[in-house]
C-alpha cells in the first residue's frame, strides 16, 4: 500500500488538460517543441505548466534559460515560473551531476516528483518526454490520468521507424493522439504525411529547419521571434490547441 499514489490525483486535481510531447526517437525536437508550446499557450493567457520527464537529459531549463533556479518549498514544491510558465524539472536539483537511474528508480523518481509538486490551477500541463518507448513513457501514461499525446518526428527513415513503435504503444495504451508534427524539414517531401495516414493519425504540419534557433535558446522572448515558433503557433492554432 503506497500512500504516495493517493496524493498524485490530488496534486493534479486542478489541471484541466495534460499533453505529452513524445517521439520514440531522440533529438527530433521534443524539448524545443514542448517548451515553445507551453510558452505560446501562456502568451495566449492560458495557465500553463511544463513538466520535464527526461530524467537522464533534463533540458527544458536550458531552452528557457532557467538552470540553477530552485522551486520554493510550501506544503510541497512550487514550480519555478518562467515567462508565465510553471516549470518543474529534476535539473533544478541535480544541477549538472549525472543522474544514473535504472528503470525502477526512474519510476520512483516520477512518483515522488508528481507527489511533491503543487501545480495549482492549470489549463494545460505540457510534458516533455525522454526518447524511447521505455518506462518513463509507460509510467507517464499510467500516472497522468487522461493524458493525450503529440507525436514529433523528423522526415528521416530512422526517426519514422522508432515513431512507428511509439504509435503502436500509444494505441495499445489507449492514449488519444492529437496528431503528428514534422520537425526540421529541409525539403519538400510527403513521407511523414504518408506515414501519418498509415498510422491513422492527423498530420498537423511541419516546422522548418531554423539556423538561427541556436542563438535564441535560453531566452524566451528571443524564442518567440524564431521562424520555428511562428510556424508552431500557426499549426497549434489550426489544431485548436491554443484556444
Ligand X SMILES: Nc1ncnc2c1ncn2[C@@H]1O[C@H](COP(=O)(O)OP(=O)(O)OP(=O)(O)O)[C@@H](O)[C@H]1O
- For residue 64, which of 91, 44, 45 has the smallest C-alpha distance? 91
Run of H or E residues at 80 = strand 80-82
Q: Does 192 bind ligand X (CB under 6 A)?
A: no
Number of H helices, E strands in the chain: 11, 10
Q: Does 180 bind ligand X (CB under 6 A)?
A: no
Run of H or E residues at 183 = strand 177-185
Residue numbers 36-55 binding Mg ion by CB under 5 A: 54
Q: Does 51 bind ligand X (CB under 6 A)?
A: no
Residue numbers 79-108 binding ligand X by CB under 6 A: none
Identity of the residue, 94 or 190, whose beta carbon is nearer to another protein in the bound complex: 94
Q: Does 184 bind ligand X (CB under 6 A)?
A: yes
Identity of the residue, 111 or 217, whose beta carbon is nearer to another protein in the bound complex: 111
Q: Does 7 bind another protein (CB under 8 A)?
A: yes
65: left (phi over 0), alpha (psi -120 to 50) or beta: left
108 binds, among another protein, ligand X, Mg ion, none (CB under 5 to 8 A by kind): another protein
Q: Do residues 203 and 192 lie in contact, with contact meaning Cβ atoms separated by under 8 Å?
A: yes
185: three-class secondary structure by DSSP: strand
User: Tell me, what DSSP letter sits at residue 101?
Assistant: -
User: Tell me, what DSSP letter sits at residue 114?
Assistant: H
Residue numbers 103-122 binding another protein by CB under 8 A: 105-106, 108-109, 112-113, 115-116
Identity of the residue, 115 or 213, whose beta carbon is nearer to ligand X in the bound complex: 213
By CB under 8 A, name the binding residues for another protein.
1-7, 10, 73, 75-77, 90, 93-95, 97-101, 105-106, 108-109, 112-113, 115-116
Amino acid at each position: 500500500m503506497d500512500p504516495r499514489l493517493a496524493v498524485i490525483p490530488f496534486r493534479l486535481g486542478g489541471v484541466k488538460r495534460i499533453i505529452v510531447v513524445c517521439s520514440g526517437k531522440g533529438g527530433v525536437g521534443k524539448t524545443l517543441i514542448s517548451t515553445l508550446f507551453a510558452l505560446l499557450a501562456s502568451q495566449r493567457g492560458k495557465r500553463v505548466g511544463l513538466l520535464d520527464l527526461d530524467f537522464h537529459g533534463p533540458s527544458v531549463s536550458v531552452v528557457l534559460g532557467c538552470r540553477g533556479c530552485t522551486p520554493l518549498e510550501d506544503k510541497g514544491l512550487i514550480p519555478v515560473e518562467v515567462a508565465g510558465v510553471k516549470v518543474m524539472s529534476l535539473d533544478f536539483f541535480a544541477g549538472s551531476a549525472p543522474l544514473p537511474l535504472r528503470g525502477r528508480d526512474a519510476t520512483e523518481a516520477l512518483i515522488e516528483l508528481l507527489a511533491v509538486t503543487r501545480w495549482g490551477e492549470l489549463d494545460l500541463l505540457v510534458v516533455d518526454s525522454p526518447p524511447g518507448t521505455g518506462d518513463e513513457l509507460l509510467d507517464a501514461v499510467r500516472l497522468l490520468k487522461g493524458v493525450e499525446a503529440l507525436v514529433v518526428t523528423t522526415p528521416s527513415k530512422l526517426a519514422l521507424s522508432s515513431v512507428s513503435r511509439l504509435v503502436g504503444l500509444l494505441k495499445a495504451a489507449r492514449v488519444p493522439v492529437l496528431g503528428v508534427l514534422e520537425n526540421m524539414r529541409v525539403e519538400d517531401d510527403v513521407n511523414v504525411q504518408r506515414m501519418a495516414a498509415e498510422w491513422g493519425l492527423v498530420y498537423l504540419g511541419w516546422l522548418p529547419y531554423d539556423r538561427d534557433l541556436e542563438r535564441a535558446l535560453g531566452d524566451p522572448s528571443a524564442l518567440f521571434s524564431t521562424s520555428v515558433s511562428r510556424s508552431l503557433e500557426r499549426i497549434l492554432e489550426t489544431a485548436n490547441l491554443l484556444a
